[in-house]
Amino acid sequence: MLAVLLLATKRRSVELHDGTLDVRAALFRQRVAVAQLDLDRARIVDLAERTELRPVVKTGGMSMPGFHAGRFRLREKFAKAFCLLTDRRRVLWLPLRDGKDQLLLSLEQPQALLDALKGARG
């Protein structure tokens, strides 16, 4: 079982296709239409500074040191988030327009995705 979980941590991707952001994190997947994202509030954050965005309660995910994937409750009012976190220093925070959900994504080039999302928004 441990081997399966370790292999699952290697399954990570973030793709933007036809106006939909598709995030795969281990055994979990989240698809969000770009129109649902509040890109005016989206930021690249450091979770050491923005402690309210740290995942604290796992509701449908997996976590190991240096890896969080799936659905979590955050420190701030137990807000909900889908996470793909490997590096907490450069995290793309994408709140949704509904004000309830958000995405937290560790990426090699977070600004490139943010620019692509803004371009896809039209």
Q: What is the rounded distance in angstroms from the CA atom of residue 102 to the CA atom of residue 82?
A: 6
Q: Give the single-character DSSP code of 113.
A: H
Q: What is the rounded distance in angstroms from the CA atom of residue 37 to the CA atom of residue 47?
A: 20
Name the E strands within the chain.
Answer: 12-17, 20-25, 28-33, 43-45, 55-64, 67-74, 80-85, 91-95, 102-106
The model's pLDDT over 48-94, given as tens digits with 9 standing for 90+, comes to 999 999 999 999 999 888 899 999 999 987 899 999 999 999 999 99
pLDDT value at position 11?
A: 80
The model's pLDDT over 20-32, given as tens digits with 9 standing for 90+, comes to 999 999 889 999 9
Res. 6: pLDDT tops 70:
no
pTM confidence score: 0.91
